[in-house]
Structure 1
């Protein structure tokens, strides 16, 4: 996929553009994205996506807790897999945040992306102080020569699918419903880091992954699968502070079943399949070891089921 930052030179041919944050590329987003792909195919025009970087939420609330559902690489891969060949990354800085709706349309949509038709969610807001909406964008498009389609995001249980709804599921440890809304298991991507290697001393070596700006799921133990170099490996993971050993940094620790290779420095993707129990403090390493053995057995049983 071609990733274009800011104003391209030379300008690209006209496109059908899906515009939004698309954090998670979930089933609701896919309504907008697939509409852009379909229109592009019917009109023999290039399909493209435009996203903001940083996410506007991070720009306006720099001290907000981590909230992302996926990192930039995961987002790009998901969009490419859908059929998009180009993504425009709009640098969300003061100049863009202060643009009025028409200026944004002229500069970004017409100038940078060269849109023929724009697809957004029905509740899309843009421009300074979120002063623009779909009807305003439609009117601007009529003046500037591009079409606009606003689409309602797919509903599940009579409730709109949204990134915030998925984050709420994860905060409850409900990775099953999160996966249903995403259309795939929620996945954390990261590099295996060297930890304290305490797990080796009790027979359960772990791979440690920093959570970065990913939203924090409920602290606890999960059945997981790890994608590594084309393999999909079963395991059990803990997300949290590791109170038994006095941990102070939130961390994802993964134990892979029947696995002994050195993978420090490798980049992996951890799929969250099932929540097993909340994080808790144990009275020493022997008690922790016994519980991990039980967790591993439970995780194996969960992973032996469908999926």
Structure 2
């Protein structure tokens, strides 16, 4: 079954009637992890009850980027990945609201009235237990419920949900798992493997000289998982999925300033420059290492590839 396409709307002002009136889940939703999915499920139940479209309200850029412009990269997904992760959840629209100085300066009452009620015309708003909104994060789920009563929309609040095994289902818990190279834990929280999407760029092509051509992808604003070698699955633009082994980091042997994801697609020989790939980091195999020469590097990469094949099955 092919997932439907989520309509992405990048403003809250002057929308036509056809883009208003949804039951919405409101939050950052970076990662669309299982905790986020529970909030979206609450909005979906309201959408079905009210006969309204199902939508998600999020922000781009992430509010943290405005308040802490020097913060280290921290994103878990791109806007495109966010929309695709929401499609199987039944989401019709994703409002990616610009988080600018005007938005940051709104009080909680202004956000509820101007954005949710007047701008989006929401029929219902679903939020998580720890949702805050408005200047100085002054608004709470209880405040939103009060505003909703005044402005004519209902509000549901999803309690904190932890996995039966005790896993905390949060974006910060995903980041902790990725930093530790614990890809199983990250995938358990997300409900799918963590994946990096980006355009294939030209590298120094050193891998070609040892028979290991790699597809190189800049990390951009993605948070940096543990540096090292991973077993991977890469989705090509035409939908094919190819197994691989990848180095993520700054390559101690031929050091680079900005970290790269360098994926060797196994049993594959096509040019991918300029194409956008999405690579799942399925398992962390080892940390980055320095070698005594290209021959030693090639031997290790071939051993890594054999390990990756075993992991990927």
Question: Please, which of 242, 264, 268 is the counterpart of residue 259 of structure 1?
Answer: 268
**In the alignment, is residue 202 of structure 1 matched against residue 207 of structure 2?**
no
Partner of 1:225: 233
Say whether residues 1:238 and 2:247 are aligned partners.
Answer: yes
Using the size of structure 2 for normalisation, the TM-score is 0.94
Q: Secondary structure at 1:9's aligned position in 2?
A: coil
1:1-307 to 2 correspondence within 5 Å?
Answer: 1-6=6-11, 7-11=13-17, 12-156=19-163, 157-228=165-236, 229-304=238-313
**Separation of aligned partners in 1, 2:167 and 2:246:** 31
Deviation at 1:159?
4.5
Cα distance, 1:70 vs. partner?
0.5
1:213: Cα distance to partner? 0.5
Could you tell me how far apart the structure 2 residues matched to 1:47 and 1:246 are?
A: 47
- In terms of mean alpha carbon deviation, does 280-289 or 168-177 score higher? 280-289
Q: d(CA) in 1 for partners of 2:202 and 2:28?
A: 33
Which runs of 5 or more residues in structure 1 are unaligned? none
Contact 2:15 2:120 in 1 (8 A): no
1:158 and 1:235 map into 2 onto residues whose CA distance is: 32
> 5+ unaligned residues in a row in structure 2: which ranges?
1-5
Q: Would you say how many aligned residue pairs link Structure 1 and Structure 2?
A: 304
- Contact kept, 8 Å, 1:88 with 1:113, in 2: the verdict is no
Q: Distance in 2 between matches of 1:47 and 1:232?
A: 30
In the other structure, the counterpart of 2:3 is none
Shift of 1:202: 0.8
Secondary structure in structure 1 of the residue aligned to 2:149: helix
Following the alignment from structure 1 to structure 2, what is the Cα–Cα distance between the partners of residues 10 and 296? Answer: 53
- Cα distance per residue 1:56-96 (max 9 Å; x no partner): 11111111111111101010112223211112222111111
Question: Could you tell me how far 1:254 is from its partner in structure 2?
Answer: 0.3
TM-score of the superposed pair, with normalisation by structure 1? 0.96
- Secondary structure, counterpart of 1:160 in structure 2: coil
Q: State the SS of the aligned residue for 2:279.
A: strand
**Could you say what secondary structure the match of 2:15 adopts?**
coil
Q: Is the 8 A contact 1:221 1:239 kept in 2?
A: yes
Once residues 260 and 134 of structure 1 are traced to their aligned partners in structure 2, the CA distance between those partners, rounded to angstroms, is 53
Contact kept in structure 2, 1:32 and 1:153, CA below 8 Å: no
Inter-partner Cα distance in structure 2 for 1:200 and 1:88:
43
- Classify the secondary structure of the residue corresponding to 2:58: strand
- Alpha-carbon separation, structure 2, partners of 1:100 and 1:233: 48
Q: Would the aligned equivalents of 2:54 and 2:93 in 1 still touch at CA under 8 Å?
A: yes
In structure 2, distance between residues paired with 1:258 and 1:288: 19
How far has the Cα of 1:13 moved from its partner? Answer: 4.1
Q: Distance in 2 between matches of 1:182 and 1:191?
A: 23
Q: Aligned-pair RMSD on alpha carbons?
A: 1.2
